Each structure stands twice: as C-alpha cells, then as structure tokens.
Structure 1
Amino acid sequence: MGFKVKDISLADQGKLKIEWAENHMPVVVGLRKLCEEKKVFEGKRISAVLHVTKETAALVRSLKFCGAEVYLAGSNPLSTQDDVAAALAQEGINVYAWKGETEEEYWWAIKKIIEEGDPDLVIDDGGDLHATIHKEYPKLAEKIIGGTEETTTGVIRLKAMEKEGVLKYPVIAVNDAFTKFLFDNRYGTGQSTIDGILRATNILLAGKVAVVAGYGWVGRGIAMRLRGMGARVVVTEVNPLRALEAVHDGFDVMRMDDAAKIGDLFVTATGNIHVIRKEHILKMKDGAILANAGHFNVEIDVKALEEIAISKRRIRPYVDEYKLPDGRRIYLLAEGRLVNLVAAEGHPSEVMDMSFANQFLSLKYLLEKAGELAPKVYKVPAEIDEEVARRKLEAMGIKIDSLTEEQVRYLNSW
C-alpha cells in the first residue's frame, strides 16, 4: 500500500468525521453490508478521482470491504479534507491527495493512481481521469472493464469522446440518474454553495442582489436557497427553455451584461468557460463578490481579473480582494474554484448517500455486464435508480403505495 497525504497524524480526527458521515449514509452502508460477505469486488482494482471528503470515504471504504483494492486521488487541488485522507491511508486505501496541491501535483496524483493502480474499473468526477487514461495510457484503456462519471462537466466531456469515436470502454453517467441530479445537484449544491459563501464571507444574504449564472439543476438549487435566505435573485441563461422556466419560477432573468451592474453576489453554475469576463467585471459595483459552483475554475475569467487589478490581497481565508484602477474592489472566493468544497465541506452526507449508492451499484452492474457493453456513455439503469430511491425512503421510515393488479392492467391497456 502506498499513500501521500498532508499529515498522517490527522487520521484519528478523520475517522470521527467518517463515522459521522456513515451515520447519515444508510443506503451506502446498507449496500456494503449486503455485498461484504460475497466480496462482489474481490480481486478488482479500482482507481478513483473524487473529492476526498468524509462522504467519499464512505464509498471507497465500502468498495474495499467488498474486496476491491482502491486507489484514490483528489478531483480538485483544494477540496481534499486532509484528516479524511489520513484516515483512509491508515485504513489501507492507496490515497494520494492533500489540500493545496499545485497543478503539477494534481496531475502527478492522477497519473500515480493510474500507473500504480492498473485499474479494472474507474470512477471519475469531472473527466480528468478518463481523459488522461485515453490520452496517455491507451493500452490500459483497452483492458478496463468500465467506468463511472459523477458530474455534469465530466459527462459532457465523455459524450464528446464518444461522438469522436475515441472512447474505449463503457461509462455509466451516474450524474444523470434521477436519484443523483434531482437531489445532489439541486439540494446538495444549493445548500453547500451557500454554506461555502457564508463561511468565507459571513455576509448577510437578505436584501442582496444575487446573480446566478446558469439554471440547470445546480443553478436551480442555488437560486432557490438564495431566495430562501432573503436574497433578490437574478438568473442569467443562454438556453431559452431554462430562462423561461426561471421566469415562471419567479426569478428576474437578464443578460450578464445587465446583471453585472446591479449584482452584489455572483455565483456561476454553467460548466462553461468565461461566463464572467473582463467586460462584466468592469461594470460591477464596489464590493461585488464572485463565487463559482462549477466543477472547473474556468467560469470566472480569473486571468482577466488579475490583469485589470492594480493590487491583490488575501483579506480572509479563501477571500481575495482585487482593487481596480478606479478604486473599486472585487472579491473572489476560493480562487474561482468550487466554493462549496474549498471554503466548506461539500454536500451534506444525506444527499451523497444517494449519489454514492448509484456509484456502488453502477460499478457492480459494469462487473456483471463485463464484455457485453460497447464503449459508450450509458444512463444508470432504471432498476438501480429505483432501488436507490426505495432504499432511501426505507431509511427515512417512509412507506409508499404500490399498484394493484387492476391498476397495472389498466396502465398497460390501450
């Protein structure tokens, strides 16, 4: 076993965090207990690039207890919880992750879990692992049974790979499961993004004009929670259907050009590059705060902000003040990276319970279907989605109705 973490002496603290998470992740823990005796992943090597949090720990520990040898790297240079990484290393997970990695260290860790891990299955969050395997380890890609993808950005990249005919193994888009995006993207990111902003700034949201760029499931969740905290929410969009939905949900919708002039707080959630650009920054009021909730640090043009500022200083942890030539101050949170994972702890355990249950069952499905699936991007099978929902309801003590035979016949008849 190998590892590289910030400080292995933090392991005891990390174990307590993991215990807390697992107490709130009954579906993942239940699946672990179900599959542990059969060792469903016995002899399989799994390499994963995920945010190294207490919730991720619940997933990778479950895979290990069910027989897998797990290799783990962080999917963001600033999102690793160092005490959790130390606890995992002490438990026999091959983990290479620490908070504050340089770009070079970030890519080193990913290559480390590929080369050392020699995986049969891969788990990714953002697509960097899949892309690196295909670009730099093509022979390995040909022998991989399959993989999963956790987030919207990664699914977009994988579908582009499939379209270009370069994808070499089947990938299940866990992000597209109903029990993932309806809850993780909306309620998880909605709450944790607000948590990150408040931990970083301690501002009052009530009365502020908050601009949310993007009205996908992540944007919906953020807008909903900001409104719940009393903010006056503006949505910017490029998709007319989503813009129309935002209007009917009661939000003001306008172009970023116009929103830039009135916003107090800006949150990007699009998965696209340079949503907030130089021309927008130049129109912002003194004290405007910029935060990003998209996977990569490309949504805010940080380079342009650096170029137009005459000074920069770290005014609070994860808050950088940029002074413009006319004296206006713009505040960037978390260096433009995922604010919920850099300045806070990421999604609550309860919502990651469903996301990681999908990961667990999707990997099991890939093993069961080994050699049968073409190298394409697949949806999570409906039976897995429904099983996760059913197990979550049971854990919450909620019972639902079932169809009578008469109702089944009626629905199946024309």
Structure 2
Amino acid sequence: MEQFERARVGSYFARIADSFAANERPSSFLITHLLPERPSFVEAVGKCSNLRAVLPKPKSIDASARRSVEKVASCDALTRELFGDDDTALDYIESRAPGEAVVLLDVGGYFAPSLDALCSRYSGRILGVVEDTENGHKRYAGRGKLPCPVVSVARSPLKDPEDFLVGQSVVFSTEALMRSRGDILHGRPALVIGFGKLGSSIARLLHAKGVQVTVHDVDPVRQAQALSQGFTVARDRDAALRGAGLVLCATGALSLRGEDFSSLRNGAYVATVTSSEDELDLDTLPGVYQRTPNGEHVTRYATTGHYFYLLNGGNAVNFLHGASVGPFIFLVQAEILAGIRMLAHGDLGHGIHEVDIADRETIAATWLNYFNR
C-alpha cells in the first residue's frame, strides 16, 4: 500500500472512530486476521476502546502488520484452548484487564466456550461480544441463552461485498496452486459444499470460468437457491464426492469427515475457506494414508490405489495470496467499531443484536466519500 493510500485509510478510520466514540471508553480484546491492511483498523479500535491485547489468528499473520500493531498494542498468542477452558480464559483476561469493563471482539466464536465463566466470575464486567463471522454467529446462537449481549456483523449487508470477494479470492488461490502443478480448473467437475454467501460466490465464479459445478448444502432453502441459479444440486453426497475433481468446502463447520476422503476420486483437489479444524476432520483420516509434500502448499495423501491433494494443509487457501478484498473490508471493520459503542452504552439485553440501519448508512456514506473515486 502506497503512503497516500495509508493516509486515506487512516483518515477514514479516524472519521469513523469519531462518529462512534462512546462517552466512556471500554477496554477491549481483539481477535483478528493480521493481514497487511489491518494496522489502521487496530489503531481505530484503540481510539474507540482501551485495547488491552490483540490476538492474531495464528494462520493469517503478516509479519510486517504484526510489527506495526506491536507498536500500539500487545500481541498475544491465540489458541482455541486459551478460551476453551474457563479457568485459563479467566486468568488471561484478569492478567490484562483486572476489574475493567471489557468488550470482546471476536472472529469465529473463540470466546463462546468460556463466556459464562467470564461473565459470572471476572472481577470486572464483560459488556458483550462483537462477532464478525457466520461461523462465530452460529457458535453464539447455538448456545441458547447468552450471558451478555452479542453484536453480530456477520449477516450485515455491509459484509456482503467482503463475502463475495473472499469467494473470488478462494478460487484465485485454488487455481494458482493447481497451475503450480501443471493442472487447470477446466475438465475437473467441482463440488462446492455449502451455498452460503462464500459458497455461492465460489460457485458463480467457477461457473463463469467454464467449470461444471455441483452444490451440496443441508439447507433445503439454499438448495432451491442453487437450483434457481443454474447449478446442479447433489441428491447423493457420496456420489457427488466420487465425481468431483475439485472439492471446495465453504460451510464454516465440518464438511468432510475422515471416512469421506476415501470417496474422493483419484487426483481430486480439496480446499477450504476457513481453518482445517473447522472444515475437515483430518485426525480421523485412516492412518494408511501417507502424507507427502507435492509442490509448495500442496500435500499428496496416498494409499494403495487411491490419492488426493490437500491445499494449504486444509487451511483457508486464499490467505496464501493475501486474501485481499480491497477497501471493501473497511465497511465491516467500521461496523465493528459501531458495535463497540453499542456495548459501551450498556443498555442491550442478553442475546444477539445487529448494528442500527442508521449507523450502517453513516458508515456507507463515509466509505463512499473516501473510496468511491
């Protein structure tokens, strides 16, 4: 990013931070993908809250971005185990922000397992959570009764451009890795598992590239949507796996279990849009499969008479090439800042909430002023 572009992004976030400044700043913990454009957003979080720590998602950390962020905030190691155990989570929050009013900024439902303990045992007060992803939204919604407010931006219309462009970046990175081995998309029927915002974007771009696309989704509404857009909808999931030369997993949940991999046709490629721990049950893959590096970021899994290729170790394939969605990412990041102010006011009931329409319009108008040039 050029210096003048950084200045524009910084000015945009300064304007957004001023628009959504709370009368009393809460403390915050920020889980985020630490990509090259992220430092400006992190600085804005620091203006809207007392940022106690940034916890970068471990498989999406840009070294330069981390160095920039470390100048303004502590960077701590993030694991599922950190917030998977009540005592560990509580000790961590207490060590960073004892007795403070705290907002938790989440990407993927990391805080969900220990949220009850944090809300009931923490020496300060958990004001609530702001969640960025559909996967995380489902984790919080699936808990039933919540002990605090959760502001979800996962289903905001301001996130639609990001989701669409992430789908495009997944196809770009998948094709790039295939081409690095001398393979191409054409002639390989594709199976897209999950027809949400990411999966539908992936399916549309593959189709535009001349690829035969089959969709599998457990939701009958999404199946109908896929049919209306001209895609084949798998009636038999196993048969669809056997026929696919490329499988793209876009559910945000478990897409392939260990026994599913043996159904893949020889030479099939498998890629995901999230982490391997979410989409793939690789731990239960039969031990007879031998894993061999087969080009950069490509692993060949083989046993007698069968083999397939896994891209980027089963982790989000688009992060290999920066996962950039351009300035559109700044829309939903601004909405996260609006969510901080909502929680800082302290008047939301326990449950899932969305940012007000008027606030979204303010964000969109500001964004257009800076980036529609």
TM-score past 0.5 threshold: yes
C-alpha distance in structure 1 between counterparts of 2:256 and 2:55, whole Å: 29
Q: Are 1:365 and 2:370 an aligned pair?
A: no
Contact kept, 8 Å, 2:35 with 2:62, in 1: the verdict is: yes
> In structure 1, how many angstroms separate the alpha carbons of the residues matched to 2:72 and 2:17?
19
Alpha-carbon contact 1:60-1:70 (below 8 Å) kept: no
Q: Does the CA-based 8 Å contact 2:112-2:139 persist in structure 1?
A: no
Q: Between 213-222 and 78-87, report the one with greater CA deviation.
A: 78-87
* 1-structure distance, mates of 2:94, 2:360: 33
Q: 1:156 aligns with which of 138, 149, 154?
A: 138
Distance 2:282 2:124 in 1: 38
Partner SS, residue 285 of structure 2: helix
Is the contact between residue 130 and residue 336 of structure 2 (CA under 8 Å) also seen in structure 1? yes
Extract unaligned runs of 5+ from structure 1. Answer: 1-15, 399-414
Question: Superposition pairs for residues 180-259 of structure 1, below 5 Å?
Answer: 180=159, 182-185=160-163, 187-202=164-179, 203-254=183-234, 255-259=236-240
SS at match of 1:298: helix
Distance 1:131 1:58, change over 3 A: farther
CA displacement, residues 274-305 of structure 1 (integer Å, 9 cap, x when unaligned): x2234432232221111111356232221233
Q: Is the 8 A contact 2:223 2:233 kept in 1?
A: yes
Q: Distance in 2 between matches of 1:105 and 1:347?
A: 28
Asked if structure 2 preserves the Cα contact closer than 8 Å seen for 1:21 and 1:54, the reply is no
Structure 1 pair 103–360 and aligned structure 2 pair: CA distance change class (3 A): closer
The counterpart of 1:87, out of the listed 68, 91, 99, is 68
Letter in 2 for 1:72: V
Quick one: distance in 2 between partners of 1:359 and 1:353? 10
SS of equivalent to 1:48:
strand
- Which structure has the highest strand share of the two? 2
Verify the 8 A CA contact 1:21 1:55 in the aligned structure 2. no
Question: CA 1:377–1:222 in structure 2 vs 1: closer, same or farther (change >3 Å)?
Answer: same
TM-score (norm 2): 0.86
Residue 344 of structure 1: CA displacement? 2.7
Q: TM-score, normalised by structure 1?
A: 0.78
Distance 1:321-1:382 versus aligned 2 partners, 3 A rule = same
> Which amino acid is the alignment partner of residue 229 of structure 1?
K
1:315 Cα shift?
Answer: 1.9
Going from structure 1 to structure 2, the CA distance change for 1:41 and 1:259 (only over 3 Å counts) comes to: farther
Aligned residue in 2 for 1:60: 42
Aligned residue for 1:73, secondary structure, equals strand
Q: How does 1:40-189 map onto structure 2 within 5 Å?
A: 40=22, 44-66=26-48, 68-75=50-57, 77-89=58-70, 91-97=71-77, 114-118=93-97, 120-135=102-117, 138-140=120-122, 143-161=125-143, 163=144, 165=145, 167-180=146-159, 182-185=160-163, 187-189=164-166
Deviation (angstroms), 1:213: 0.3
3-state SS in 2 of match to 1:391:
helix
Residues of 1 paired with 2:126 and 2:46: CA distance?
19
State how far apart, in whole Å, the 1-side matches of 2:123 and 2:209 are: 47
In structure 1, C-alpha distance between the alignment counterparts of 2:351 and 2:80, rounded to whole Å = 30
